[in-house]
Amino acid sequence: MRKVRIAVLVSGGGTNLQTLIDAAEKGDINGEIAAVISDNENAYALERARKHGIKAIYINRKQLAERLIIELQRLDIELVVLAGFLSILDRELVKAYEGRIINIHPSLIPSFCGKGFYGERVHKAALEYGVKVSGATVHFVDEGTDSGPIIFQEAVPVYFEDTSETLAARVLQVEHRLLPAAVGLFCEGRLRIEGRKVKILKEEV
Ligand code: GRF
């Protein structure tokens, strides 16, 4: 089966990206990471890409709306994965890639998500609220923020003595499993969006 051409969009350290690189190299996903694109030229995630011979592209935040879709089309990208990407995608791009953009978010959506909820802020809000579970969500991207159809979720316990660092580390372990699993199913054609829900098919139709 031909490998799906994937672009991973990043802004930070890229540990989620690394799990996708490893999975693709091991053949655990039927996909090829054709490019890693960042809105932060110092993102270590770009270095991770370079170490694996993957095209690493920096696009200034101000030029994203104009240049990102051009790069994706030039690279013949079939799946866009947001892995710690902090900029909001242009509506035109979301429309053009409807059903082909996957995001990982470090909470159980619809809790602690949406505008302003990213990275450590998500875990701080969960701790301040006093929740007993948090977790990670992998979902398709729609025109909202963290609001598209959910592919996978998995909960983790929250302990009284947790800090945002200890909670983030526990959630990140779940992220590192859920994201490659979701991307793998997409690359096998086994994810079907039905309204707000995502059906996981036994095999590709
Ligand atoms: C992760 O918590 C991810 O959920 C969030 O950004 C954080 C850093 O991810 N979106 P990474 O190490 O850069 O993949």
Please state, rounded to an integer, the average pLDDT across all residues of the chain: 97
Q: Is 12 in the pocket of ligand 1 (CB under 6 A)?
A: yes
Predicted confidence at residue 99, as pLDDT, reads 98
- pTM for this entry: 0.97
Q: Is 149 in the pocket of ligand 1 (CB under 6 A)?
A: no
Hey, which of 89, 104, 105 would you mutate to test ligand 1's pocket, going by the most ligand atoms within 8 Å of its Cβ?
104
Measured from the CA of 171, which atom of ligand 1 is nearest? 2
Predicted confidence at residue 46, as pLDDT, reads 98
The CATH number corresponding to 4-200 among 3.40.50.170, 3.40.50.300, 3.30.565.10, 3.30.230.10 equals: 3.40.50.170
d(CA 180, CA 28): 8
Please give the structure tokens belonging to residue 157: 């316990």
Query: Angle at CA 11, nearest 5°, toward 10 and 15?
Result: 65
Q: Is 189 in the pocket of ligand 1 (CB under 6 A)?
A: no
For residues 136 and 171, the answer to whether their CB atoms sit within 8 Å is yes
Predicted confidence at residue 203, as pLDDT, reads 81
3-state secondary structure 106-117: CCCCCCCCCCCC
Please give the structure tokens belonging to residue 95: 């429309």
Instruction: Tell me the pLDDT tens digit for each residue of 86-140.
Output: 999 999 999 999 999 999 999 999 999 999 999 999 999 999 999 999 999 999 9
Three-state SS at 158: coil
Predicted confidence at residue 205, as pLDDT, reads 62
pLDDT along the chain (205 residues), means of 10: 96 98 98 98 98 98 97 98 96 97 98 96 98 98 96 98 98 98 98 98 81
Q: In DSSP terms, which residues pair with 194 in a beta bridge?
A: 197
Other Cβ atoms closer than 10 A to 43: 24
Q: In DSSP terms, which residues pair with 191 in a beta bridge?
A: 200
Predicted confidence at residue 1, as pLDDT, reads 82
Predicted confidence at residue 44, as pLDDT, reads 98
Domain boundaries, the chain: 4-200
